[in-house]
Every structure is written in C-alpha cells, then in structure tokens.
Chains A and B, each alone.
Chain A
Amino acid sequence: MPRFHWNNIRRSLAASVIGGLAVVSAGTAIAEDYPTQPITLVVGFPPGGSTDVVARILAGHMSTSLGQPVLVENRPGAGGTVGISHVANSDPDGYTLGVSGVGASILIDALGRDSGYDIDNDLDVIGVMGTLGLVIAGRNGLEAQTLPELMEFAKANPEDLTYGSSGVGTPGHLAMEYLKSLAGVEMLHIPYKGNTPLLNDVVGGHVDIAMLTTPGAAEHVRAENIQPFAVSSPERSSLMPDVPTVIEGGFEGYTATLWNLLVAPKGTPADVQAKLSDALNGAMKDVRVVGEFATKGLAPTITTPEEATQFLVDERAKWKGVIETAGVPKK
C-alpha cells in the first residue's frame, strides 16, 4: 500500500502503475514471434470521439493482419497527454501503443505547457494515422458569402465578429489566429470546452464563426444550419466538395489539418516497428478502411516510420511558426 504523504502520492502512483505493467508484460517475447499477446492501443480521448473512431477502424484491420487483437484503451485527460504519458512510461515491447494527435504531439509542448513527456526522446513514431480537415463556418444570417467577403467585413468592423474554438491552444484556435494575422483583422475569440458546445452555439447563432471538423460540420452544412466559407486542408474535402480551400480564398500556403500518429515507447525494436508499420499501412490500403475514412472526412496516409518522424518535425516547424506569427501567448 503506498503511503499517502502528499508529495509521495504522485511517485507511488507512478510506481504502482509501472509495477502493474511490469507484471503484465513480464513474459516479453522475442521480436521475431511478435506479437504473441494482445496489443493495447491507448487513446487519450473518450470513446466515441473522432480520435477514438480512427483508432477503432484501424485497430480492427490491424488485429487481423497481426494475428493478435489490438485493443483500444481510453485514457482520456488533459488534451490527450494523460494517455500518451502512459505510453511513454510503458515498456518498449510493442504491446503498448498510443494514438497521439496534434495537441499531444506538438501544441501543448509548443505553448510552453508540461505534458509529462518529451515526444522526441520518450516515443518512437511508427506512422501517420490519416489526416482530417477543418472548415471555417459561420452562423446563418451573416452577410458575407465567401471568405474574402468575410475578411473584408472583419477588416471594416474590427472586433465586431466573434469566433469560437474548441478550446485555448487547440488547432482550431491557432489556425484562426493565424488567419487573422495573415488577413490583418481583429475578431473576438470565444473558447469552448470541445467541439460539441461550439457547434451548438454556432448553429444557435450565438457565435458568428467557428472552425469545425469537417465530419462534425458536414450534416449541418447540408441542412443549411450553418454556412461554410472555406476548408483548411490543402485540397477540397470529400465531404463538401463545393467548399473552396482557404488557399483558393487568397491565402497562399495556408493549411491546417488534424492528424494522429501511431506512437510506441522509445526503444521499441526496429523489427517490431516494421511489423507495426506494415500492419498500419496495410490497413490504410484496405478498401473497407478507405471507404470508412471517406465517409468520415479522413484522408488515408501511407508512411514509413522515418517519413512519419519527418512529418512530425515538419508539422512542428509549421505550428511553431503559426504560434509565432499569430502571437499566441505562451505559458
């Protein structure tokens, strides 16, 4: 039993978690036979969310190709960092993997917040698990019909428009701040606790503009509950092909996409990583997975571990530039 002295709680908790895992993974097998037992795929968000859905689609296919069940385990908390921190502290045997999004991989760290791990030193990146676009949408009744018109209105009426994001330091918030600084306009930021209450308030007309995930917004666009201005991905979205990209709207080089990385604790054997990478890429090529991805607005990605690590480096440079340009305060 750990002693409950205040400053010992954290340490003893960590010890009991690690101790428990050591027992579970005591019979670590040789890499050639890998995998010989079920694999845990840690998701840092609650079940039913967009990250969870991606993880479950891919885990389903990977279970078949690896010959062992890949079990999704939800460890939600602190923008996904609770789950990834758990992975970072697990044994590098390939039996505990994680799904790390933009926030847990880059933003939390780039905004000067402690995430409990250092992604470069504590984790190996195995592959990219698809990308997801965002859409800039406005409440009904806004006069502007296109992105340039919207920016013109915002320029003429500084601080008149409000925009909502799913939280301070989320990709949607930073991407809007970036757009603001590029267009030279002022809009008031209204942060929400996640995508759902934000969607509620833009459909209800309480906030003027919001950056939403394309699958979350698509049905509301179809029902004309909100009007789309532009998608933030480099190409148009399969879910709303009529909506132009921000680049088409005159902002050269502007892209903001969400993605997830498949990560493993640092020091995972290269052949285990290779097997996992093959299984992930195999899933990305599977017809059923591709179909399910399309209906959810996800774009499949095929990457080697090296390419995925480079992807992380590039994205980090981009988002750090965004934070710099937009002047988002660090903590």
Chain B
Amino acid sequence: MIENILLGFATAFTPENLAYCFLGVFLGTFIGVLPGLGSLAAISMLLPLTFYLEPTTALIMLGGIYYGGEYGGSIASILLNLPGTPSAAVTCLDGNPMAKQGRAGVALFITAIASFVGGSVGIVALMGFGPSIARLGLGFSPADYFALMLLGLVAAVTVGGGSVIKGLIMVVLGLLLGTVGTDVTTGDFRYTFDFLELRDGVSLVAMAMGVFGVSEVISSITGSKTRKISEKVTARSMMPTRQDLRKIFGPMARGSTIGGFLGALPGAGTVIAAFMAYATEIRLAKDKTRFGKGAIEGIAAPESANNAAAQTAFIPTLTIGIPGSATMSIMLGALMIHGISPGPLLISDHPTVFWGLIASFWIGNLFLLVLNIPLIGLWVRVLQFPYKYIYPVVIALICIGVFSMRTSVFDVSLVVIFGALGYLFQRTGYSPAPLILGFVLGPMLEENLRRAMLMARGDPMRLISDPLTGSLLAISALMLVWAVFGGIRSLIAARRKGRVFRHRRGLRCWPLPPG
C-alpha cells in the first residue's frame, strides 16, 4: 500500500506530469466556467493530442480537465445564475442569491473549499477501498438501481410541505421529457416526431443550458434589471466568517459521503450526487426557509458531492474497466489508444498508470485550490461588466458548447425552445431544478425497473423480497408516509391557528428562482 502510494507520487512528480496536471486542471476550470462547454466536449477534442504523450501523462491531463471542470462549473452558477455544467445547476439555487446579496466572494471561497474537501474524500475512497467499492457496485442489480433511484426521487420531492405541488409538477414534467427517445426494452421510438436526432432522447446539456442559461438572459433583458455594483472586492469580503465555516462542516461531510458513494456506481453520476446532497441538507435543516435565498449549506453540500463523485467515478473505470459515464468511456478510449487494455487487471498490470494517476489527483486538487482562491477577486469583477457585453458572449458560448457535444444543429434549436420554456417557468414561479432531476432520474428509473421486472419474470414480489431492494423501497415508502403525515399535521396546525394553509409559503419543496 505505502509503496504503491510512493510509486504513484514518484510518477506524478516528474516535471512533465506536473506540467500536464496543471494544464489539465487549468483548462478544466476554464472550460467549466464557460456555460455549455463541458469537460466531455473538452476531453473529446483533446483526445487526439494525447496520442503523442505517455499514457500516464495523457490520463493525468484528461483527468485534470474532468475534475477541474466540476470545480469551474459552479463559478458561473454563482456569479450569473448560469451553470457551467449540468451538475452545477444545483449550485445556482443558493449560490446566485448569495452573489446578489454581495457575498459572491464568500460563495466562491466556500465552493473552492467544499470542492477540495469533496475531491479529497473521493481520492481517499479511491485509494483505500477502490477495488472493494467497485465489487460492491457490481453487486447492485437492476432492481437495486431502481430502488436507489426511487429513493433519490422521493427524497428530493418530499422535502417540506408548502408548495410541493409546483415542485412535483416540474419533476413529473422532467420524467415525461425523459421518456422521449428509443425505448430500451422494446426498441420503439417514443415522441420522436420523425426526428432522427430525438431517437437518443433530448440532450441534457441543451435542456440545462436552455432552462437555466438562456431563460436567465431573457429575463434580465425583459426585466431591464440594472445591477447595483457597489461591492468592492477586498480580501476581507471574500473571507467566510467563522460562523460560515462552522456551518459548512456537516454539509461537506455529508455531501462528500453521498457524492463519493453515488460517483462509484456506474450510471449514477455527478448530477444526481449534487441533487441528493442538496435534498439531504434541506431535509436536515431546522429552518428550511433559508434554502434558495443564499444558504451557505446549499453550496457546500452539492459542491463537495459533485467533486467527490468526479473522483470516485474513476473507481469502476480503473478497477474493473467499466466506465460509469460518457466522459469515463473516453478516458478508457484514451488508454486503449495507447495499447493498454482497461480492465480488472489494470492495477496489477500497469501499477504506474493507476497509482500515478491517483497521486496526480491529489496534486491536481491542490493546484485547483491554490489556483482558485486568488482568482476569486478576478471572477467577482466579472459582475461589474455590463450585461450587454456579458450576455451576447454567454449566448454564443452556449450555442458553441451545445453544438460541440454532438456536432448537432438540432440541439442548438432545442436550446432556443428550452430557453423560451425556462423563461415561462421563471415568470410563473416554477423552479427548473426539479425538472432536471426528473429528467436525469426518469430514464434510469424506467430502464432499471423494466429490466428488473423482466429478470423477475414479471413478479414484483421478487423485487421486494430481495433484502437490499426491499429495504431501499421500504425507506422510500416510509419517507412518503412521513411527508404525507407531516403535511396533514402542519395543515391541521395551520387551521388551528386560523391561517389558511395556502398562504403558508414558508416550507417549500424547491426554492424558487431568484428574480
């Protein structure tokens, strides 16, 4: 173990590898900041360049872009309410209100710390328990995946009472949009309207950029909002208070754990990790009304979760050779191009590649921390730019980013449609966040349920009788009962106080978008 770690650092500390690690995380942060351009696009564009590098060096750079992108994705979420990557959409919810309250610097600082903590927890998990976590993940059957996804969905929508309805409507809309495309079980096309492009479903990036990014731009223009930028960026204004730091400890610990676990499951991914961490914080908070208005826990938890997930996503990829996401398949593709067959024997066959890469993650995360804290002042100054310069650039970047994902003009038109829809949502007070969650979870829920039912030969009892599936389903059921019971109780309490329940807007499922 110790000698492996030493071997890793010896590999990662060569000047060449250090340089490429820095280049990777720098590019990753930069690409993460740009809305629409994700690490997937960046890695696929840079893949051919890595032909000329040593395989370890190539992976170190590509890996750096990947987790660097998760760091950078939140910056535009906080400053402009434009998520750089879909997993940073959650960070908009509380990050942007903080920026509007003049605490952008603090929000960015917390992001950097939470990301570092999340990343570190992920790396420890990868180093210490990689192969055993991978084996645990392999044991998850389609039925277990279904139960886990259902738990996630229930956890996210049963939070609080109040206007659960609006949240539910958006989740359902997301689930419905998730049905577009080819039905995996029968191969039939659903709601594709004769478009070849819709056979693989609606693009998540196009949707996220439309409902968050474009709608934000439209509402700023129509609202003719003028921003007060009185904020002077001083070192003090960036520093979180002691109280802030105390508040984020728990959320970071929980977020890292949730993210670390979900990241290691092939197919779960960083988006779900961020959402689950956020939902957990709302559930645990004493005062749920603070969320959506700049709660610091609302940044710390999802940011540590998505960075932890970005690191543990390497567990199934490297230890058993099964990539959990599209980005991870490209990483495996990079290995194959270099003549290394990714698979369960990678660690024993190519220890320098594996341990060198992991050691570089530590170094890369440190680079990111050191790189990002001094940059906070610079980023905050972006807010002082007039909108008329920022927004055309943003729109152009979104179009380029979305186009580059699949070289598809169709997806760019989707951004326009979702932008208009998102604006409508914003005007009517529907948050787009549960829409994204429903959209991401829906297809996985359906696919795994139907696969599980096929395997059980149509007998639902076989799902329930499995200990893991059964207990996950039971927890979901309990949470639902709890939510319904709690709802009724607070309804009665409100009646007794002579207040009309409808007006009790305190407890909300999802914070409304600002503005």
Point out residues on A near B: beta carbons under 8 Å. Answer: 4, 9-10, 13, 16-17, 46-49, 52-53, 56, 60, 72-79, 81-82, 85, 111, 113-116, 159, 162, 167-169, 188, 190-193, 196-197, 199-201, 203-207, 215, 218-220, 222-223, 225, 292, 295-296, 331
Contacts and interface: CB of A to CB of B under 8 A. Distances in A.
Given A190-B454, A192-B184, A292 B194 contact: no
Contact of A200 (B196, B322, B332): B322
Nearest to B141: A206
Contacts of B138: 200, 203-205
Contact of B455 (A77, A169, A207): A207
Contacts of B457: 159, 188
B196 A190 contact: no
Nearest to A40: B407
A77 B196 contact: yes
Contact of B341 (A79, A203, A204, A215): A215
Given A10-B195, A115-B196, A169-B187, 4 more contacts: A46-B44, A53-B337, A56-B337, A203-B320
A13 B409 contact: yes
Chain B interface helix/strand/loop/mixed: helix
Interface residues of B, number: 57
A40 B270 CA distance: 33
Contacts of B337: 53, 56
A22 B489 CA distance: 67
B368 to A, nearest CB: 24
Contacts of B345: 219, 222-223
Contacts of A201: 141-142
Contacts of A188: 454-455, 457
A167 B184 contact: yes
Chain A interface helix/strand/loop/mixed: mixed
Contacts of A223: 343-345
A78 B196 contact: yes
Interface in B393-443: 406-410, 413, 416
Contacts of A75: 406-408
A222 B320 CA distance: 12
Given A53-B336, A77-B196, A168-B186, A190 B455 contact: yes
A114 B193 CA distance: 12
Interface string B337-369: 101011111100000000000000000000000
B287 interface: no
B110 to A, nearest CB: 34
B342 A219 contact: yes
Q: Which of A48, A74, A292, A331 has the most CB of B within 10 A?
A: A48
Contacts of A159: 457
Nearest to A225: B344
Nearest to A292: B339
A188 B454 CA distance: 8
Interface in B130-183: 138-142, 182
A225 B322 CA distance: 12
B339 A162 contact: no
Contacts of B500: none
Contact of B196 (A48, A85, A169): A85
Contact of B184 (A85, A193, A218, A219): A193
Interface string B33-73: 00000000000100110010000000000000000000000
Q: Which of A197, A223, A331 has the most CB of B within 10 A?
A: A197
A191 B44 contact: no
Contact of B323 (A192, A196, A225): A196
B334 A48 contact: yes
When A and B form their complex, which 9 residue pairs have the shortest distance between CB atoms, in order from nearest? A219-B343, A48-B333, A168-B187, A48-B330, A204-B138, A78-B199, A47-B44, A223-B344, A75-B407
17 contacts: A9-B413, A10-B194, A16-B409, A47-B330, A48-B329, A49-B333, A74-B406, A77-B197, A81-B196, A82-B197, A115-B196, A116-B196, A162-B455, A168-B185, A190-B451, A192-B184, A196-B329
B84 interface: no
Interface of B: 44, 47-48, 51, 138-142, 182, 184-189, 194-197, 199-200, 266-267, 316, 320-323, 326, 329-334, 336-337, 339, 341-346, 406-410, 413, 416, 447, 451, 454-455, 457
B458 to A, nearest CB: 11
Nearest to A170: B187
A64 B338 CA distance: 20
A82 B196 contact: yes
Contact of A47 (B140, B195, B196, B333): B333
B334 A218 contact: no
Nearest to B417: A4
B454 A219 contact: no
B329 A46 contact: yes
A128 B107 CA distance: 56
Nearest to B47: A47
Contact of A78 (B184, B197, B447, B454): B197
A285 B167 CA distance: 61
Nearest to A221: B343
A76 B408 CA distance: 9
Contacts of B454: 162, 188, 190
Contacts of A199: 322
A222 B196 contact: no
Nearest to A218: B341
Contacts of A115: 196
Contacts of A219: 321, 341-346
Given A48-B330, A75-B408, A219-B341, A13 B413 contact: yes
Q: Which of A17, A77, A162 has the most CB of B within 10 A?
A: A77
Contacts of A193: 184, 447
A222 to B, nearest CB: 6
Contacts of A196: 266, 322-323, 329
Contacts of A296: 336
Nearest to B327: A48
A172 to B, nearest CB: 13
Contacts of B413: 4, 9, 13
Contacts of B343: 218-220, 222-223
B330 A77 contact: no
Contacts of A169: 187
Q: Which of A207, A219, A222 has the most CB of B within 10 A?
A: A219
B260 to A, nearest CB: 19
Contact of A48 (B185, B332, B341): B332
A120 B260 CA distance: 51
Contacts of A72: 48
A219 to B, nearest CB: 3
Contacts of A77: 196-197, 199-200, 406, 408
Contacts of A205: 138
A72 B333 CA distance: 15
Given A78-B197, A197-B266, A73 B407 contact: yes
A72 B44 CA distance: 11
B243 to A, nearest CB: 45
Contacts of B184: 167-168, 191-193
Contacts of B331: 48
Contact of A203 (B47, B322, B406): B322
